């Protein structure tokens, strides 16, 4: 199909306007209001603290007017775009949430009582009632308990859940909590871009669960297992039905056409950091950072047998003197640091211990010596090629940081004890255990995409790390790695340009 040149030019002009106007805090252009009917251009840049994020849309510009991803479908005024904002790499940073609160005095549909507040029972006008979203970027996720399969079939869990701490009131009382048949956890929105990677299937088996991959109920093909913190929805259709009925309070079922149009958009959008304030464009001097390579590459490759993870920056390991001379000294130093960071990510090993999904049941050993790339192994994305349900300890004691504003659950395994935590242990979010109903899966959280990180702090499913340094410090504590200050800086710099 041929698109008249003039039709392409208009959105491109619009794009330049956004890029120029998009200084942090500059309300309108940065924030995509549901239903505002903007055109989504083929390329869109947004500045963030570390540089610029670039979004690429394949297949030409998109009229968002009437598009089910961008229109408020339900009565609460929200659309998918509300929590999956382009400037935030199709997630939502806590900073953006705070800016929205300040701009709208808390009136934005983002703060809907149902899940944009700590609990609907709290006085909604108070900022404090939305503290989890404003401080940690977390939405309330209410899940049925005991859990059900995607087709409604009940699952008999092999563990018991009791509420130990309920600081927000959504895990107790007549309507909320396990006693009332549900459970509330609090999670970050996952970045909705580069989706072909998250859906890619590398191998026929899930080595962590010890089965062939489960089949997609719609296509009967194997599913990647890489969606959602708890993998409760295995394909995009199931995910958007879950999202529209909960986040959008949409009471009806999405039509076939709506499902197709949302899927179409989800598959076309790519996002990654394009420039660094300190290092310049990430696709120069031989480097191949940025979203274009992501868009153009084959998804689902295992870094260890193909292109090594973050080898996008290999050319910066040895910048020829002639090129180096043309960079500012700080720029050169930053680029060299990014290249070292990629090597630290792949090569600096440490002992990984007591992380279910890695140290059990799969037989790598407990402990096993490996590096960041062991788990973050997909080329270009840093998610897990195999279904990525791993217990890093971010939500579970004793490895999680104390987070007194989150609920705490006591888990009692009714059959075999948990291989690392024993029969009774404590978690703020059982993660994949809520989906599988298995004690051994409690605390496992699906690895996310590692792209566009600079646009979407805080990090980890529960916002435990407020910045990238916080991520590295968490790993350093968790696995007693002993990174040098230089190595920490290099990792942070690497992650800031992904």
Partner 1 sequence: MKTIAALLMLAAPMAAQAQETGSLVRFVACPTYRDADSGRKSGCWLADDRATGRRWDVSLSPYKPDWNFAVLVEGRVTDAKPDACGAPVLDPVRTSRLLDQPCVRHMLPAEGYPGRRYKLQGRYIDPLSVPRAVPPGPYAERTFPVYFEFDNDFLIYQYDDYLLDKAVTWIRAAKPKKLVVTGFAATVPEMVSGQRIAERPEVARERAETIAETLRRLVEVPVEVKWQAGSQPTAEPDADRLPGQSQRRAEIRALF
User: Using CB under 8 A as the criterion, which residues of the chain lie in contact with partner 1 when the complex forms?
Assistant: 201-205, 207, 210-215, 222, 298, 300-302, 304-305, 347, 349, 351, 359-371, 374, 416-417, 419-420
Binding-residue pattern over the window 478 to 497 for ligand HEC, x denoting contact by CB under 6 A: -------------x---x--
Binding mask 126-165 for ligand HEC (x = CB under 6 A): -------------x-x------------------------
**Whole-Å CA distances, 420 to 136, 188, 376:** 28, 26, 22
Encode burial over 57-79: b for 16+ CB neighbours within 10 A, e otherwise: beeebbebeebbbbbbbbebbbb
Six-digit token string for 358 = 């890695």
Region from 12-20, 165-173, 236-244, 294-302 binding ligand HEC, contact rule CB under 6 A: 236-244
Tell me which of 42, 53, 378, 445 binds ligand HEC, using CB under 6 A. Answer: 445
Backbone region of residue 150 per phi and psi (left: phi > 0; alpha: psi in -120 to 50; beta: other values): alpha
CA distances from 118 to 101, 137, 381, 434 (A): 15, 11, 32, 20
238 binds ligand HEC (CB under 6 A): no
Report the partner that residue 329 touches, choosing among ligand HEC, partner 1, none (CB closer than 5 to 8 A by kind). Answer: none
Q: Which is nearer to partner 1, 250 or 310 (CB)?
A: 310
Contact between 239 and ligand HEC (CB under 6 A)? yes
**Contact pattern from residue 196 through residue 225 relative to ligand HEC, giving x for each residue in contact according to CB under 6 A and a dash for the rest:** --x---------------------------
Stretch that binds ligand HEC, among 281-289, 327-335, 415-423, 467-475 (CB under 6 A): 467-475
Cβ 349 vs Cβ 368: under 8 Å: no
- For the CA atoms of 106, 112, 116, 121, the dihedral, rounded to the nearest 10 degrees, stands at 100
14 Cβ contact list (under 8 Å, min separation 6): 38, 39, 41
Peptide bond into 458 cis (omega under 30): yes
The reply on whether position 337 binds ligand HEC by CB under 6 A is no
Name which of ligand HEC, partner 1, none residue 48 binds, using a CB cut-off of 5 to 8 Å depending on partner kind.
none
Report the C-alpha gap between 129 and 149 in whole angstroms: 32
Asked whether position 249 contacts ligand HEC by CB under 6 A, the answer is no
Give the Cα separation of 221 and 239 in Å (integer).
17
Decide which of ligand HEC, partner 1, none touches 173; Cβ closer than 5 to 8 Å per partner kind.
none
244 binds, among partner 1, ligand HEC, none (CB under 5 to 8 A by kind): ligand HEC
Site for ligand HEC in 353-382 (CB under 6 A): 355, 358, 372, 374-376
Q: Does 461 bind ligand HEC (CB under 6 A)?
A: yes
Q: Does 312 bind ligand HEC (CB under 6 A)?
A: no
Transcribe 18-52 into DSSP letters. HHHH--TT-HHHHS--TT---EE-SEEEEEETTEE
Q: How far is the CB of 6 from ligand HEC (least distance, A)?
A: 32
- Least separation, in Å, of the C-beta of 298 and ligand HEC? 19
Sequence-separated (6 or more) residues with CB below 8 Å from residue 109: 34, 72, 76, 77, 78, 82, 116
- Strand (E) or helix (H) holding 333: helix 329-347
- Asked if residue 309 binds ligand HEC (CB under 6 A), the reply is no
Task: Point out which residues pair with 148 in neighbouring strands.
Answer: 154
HSE toward the beta carbon, residue 435, CA cutoff 13 A: 19
Residue 301: name its binding partner from partner 1, ligand HEC, none (Cβ under 5 to 8 Å by kind).
partner 1
Nearest to ligand HEC of 42, 227 (CB atom): 227
CA distance 124 to 117: 7
What 3-state DSSP class applies to 496? helix
Which of 230, 312, 354, 441 binds ligand HEC (CB under 6 A)? It is 230
Q: Is 95 in the site for ligand HEC (CB under 6 A)?
A: no
User: Is residue 262 involved in binding ligand HEC (CB under 6 A)?
Assistant: yes
**Strand-pair partners of 141:** 185
Strand partners, 44: 55
Residue 97 touches ligand HEC, criterion: CB under 6 A? no
- Residue numbers at the binding site for ligand HEC (CB under 6 A): 78, 80, 82-84, 115, 139, 141, 187, 189-190, 192, 198, 227-230, 236, 239-240, 243-244, 247-248, 262, 345, 352, 355, 358, 372, 374-376, 390, 392, 394, 445, 447-448, 450, 453, 459-461, 471-472, 475, 491, 495
């Amino acid at each position: 199909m041929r698109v008249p040149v003039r039709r392409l030019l208009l959105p491109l002009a619009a794009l330049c306007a956004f890029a120029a106007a998009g200084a942090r805090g500059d309300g309108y252009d940065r924030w995509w209001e549901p239903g505002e009917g903007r055109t989504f251009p083929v390329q869109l840049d947004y500045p963030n603290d570390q540089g610029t994020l670039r979004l690429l849309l394949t297949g030409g510009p998109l009229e968002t007017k009437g598009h089910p991803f961008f229109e408020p479908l339900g009565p609460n005024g929200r659309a998918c775009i509300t929590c999956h904002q382009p400037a935030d790499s199709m997630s939502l940073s806590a900073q953006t949430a705070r800016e929205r609160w300040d701009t709208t005095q808390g009136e934005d549909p983002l703060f809907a009582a149902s899940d944009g507040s700590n609990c609907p029972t709290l006085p909604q006008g108070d900022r404090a009632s939305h503290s989890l979203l404003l401080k940690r970027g977390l939405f309330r996720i209410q899940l049925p308990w005991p859990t059900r399969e995607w087709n409604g079939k009940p699952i008999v869990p092999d563990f018991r859940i009791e509420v130990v701490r309920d600081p927000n009131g959504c895990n107790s009382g007549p309507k909320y909590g396990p006693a009332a048949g549900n459970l509330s956890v609090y999670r970050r929105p996952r970045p909705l871009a580069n989706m072909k990677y998250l859906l890619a299937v590398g191998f026929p088996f899930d080595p962590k669960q010890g089965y062939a991959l489960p089949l997609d109920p719609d296509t009967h093909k194997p599913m990647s297992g890489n969606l959602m913190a708890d993998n409760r929805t295995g394909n995009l259709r199931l995910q958007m039905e879950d999202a529209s009925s909960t986040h959008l309070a949409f009471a009806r079922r999405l039509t076939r056409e709506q499902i197709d149009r949302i899927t179409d958009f989800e598959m076309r959008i790519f996002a990654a950091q394009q420039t660094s304030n300190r290092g310049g464009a990430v696709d120069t001097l031989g480097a191949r950072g940025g979203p274009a390579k992501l868009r153009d590459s084959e998804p689902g490759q295992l870094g260890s047998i193909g292109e090594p993870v973050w080898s996008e920056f290999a050319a910066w390991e040895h910048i020829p003197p002639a090129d180096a001379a043309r960079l500012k000294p700080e720029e050169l130093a930053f680029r060299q640091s990014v290249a070292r960071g990629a090597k630290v990510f792949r090569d600096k090993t440490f002992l990984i211990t007591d992380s279910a999904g890695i140290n059990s049941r799969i037989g790598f050993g407990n402990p096993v010596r490996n590096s960041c790339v062991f788990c973050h192994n997909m080329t270009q994305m840093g998610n897990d090629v195999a279904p990525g349900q791993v217990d890093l300890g971010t939500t579970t004691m004793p490895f999680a940081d104390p987070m007194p504003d989150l609920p705490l659950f006591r888990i009692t395994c009714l059959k075999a004890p948990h291989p690392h935590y024993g029969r009774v242990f404590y978690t703020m979010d059982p993660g994949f255990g809520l989906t599988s109903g298995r004690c051994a899966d409690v605390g496992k959280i699906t690895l996310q995409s590692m792209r566009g990180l600079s646009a979407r702090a805080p990090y980890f499913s529960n916002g435990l790390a407020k910045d990238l340094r916080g991520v590295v410090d968490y790993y350093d504590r968790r696995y007693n790695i002993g990174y040098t200050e230089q190595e920490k800086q290099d990792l942070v710099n690497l992650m800031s340009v992904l």
